[in-house]
Chains A and B, each alone.
Chain A
Amino acid sequence: QKEVEQNSGPLSVPEGAIASLNCTYSDRGSQSFFWYRQYSGKSPELIMFIYSNGDKEDGRFTAQLNKASQYVSLLIRDSQPSDSATYLCAVSRNEKLTFGTGTRLTIIP
């Protein structure tokens, strides 16, 4: 079992709709959870982080964490073509950040 699992996609979402990205992790001791966005040919950039169960909202982005289910998700509201990218889920324990393989998201105009 991979430590951090994501559906590789591609996930296609119409412009203006909600994009929902999911991630599961295997280590129950994971402490911090992150979403990075990576445009093709570019480096990953942090867009959201969450430490506690529940929802965390930042603009059009909402991160959701359920530690009991070992599940993290990212919702993108009012999806824009500029949101088209690969989204990497990452979990951290003892300063070691482990990434998933990413979900490729395409927003269709």
Chain B
Amino acid sequence: DTAVSQTPKYLVTQMGNDKSIKCEQNLGHDTMYWYKQDSKKFLKIMFSYNNKELIINETVPNRFSPKSPDKAHLNLHINSLELGDSAVYFCASTDRGEEKLFFGSGTQLSVL
């Protein structure tokens, strides 16, 4: 049983395309996150949702739009993909106030 699952694992696409990454957790957590890890391994928070409500929105281009249909799901849609968007995107979850993150296996996005 995978606790935090992301799909797809790999995503290769052309500049200018629109793509989505999905995330689901079965841990019963109420808070979910999207992190971006660049080629130098720097892991940077993008968004955080608690019970479907956006609570953290870092300085991210508005081409990135998260959506949380319920507290177990957090999806990330990216419009007009750029070369600089190439990275590994990690979904994570926790219970609010716990701060111990459980990460998904990551989505390797390559923009050509």
Contacts and interface: CB of A to CB of B under 8 A. Distances in A.
A49 interface: yes
B41 A86 contact: yes
Interface residues of A, number: 20
B90 A44 contact: yes
Interface residues of B, number: 21
Given A42-B105, A44-B90, A34 B99 contact: yes
A44 B103 contact: yes
Interface of B: 31, 40-45, 48, 55-56, 90, 96-97, 99-106
Given A43-B105, A97-B101, 12 more contacts: A8-B40, A34-B100, A38-B41, A43-B106, A44-B43, A44-B90, A95-B96, A96-B48, A96-B56, A99-B42, A101-B40, A101-B42
Interface of A: 8, 32, 34, 38, 42-46, 49, 86, 88, 92, 95-99, 101-102
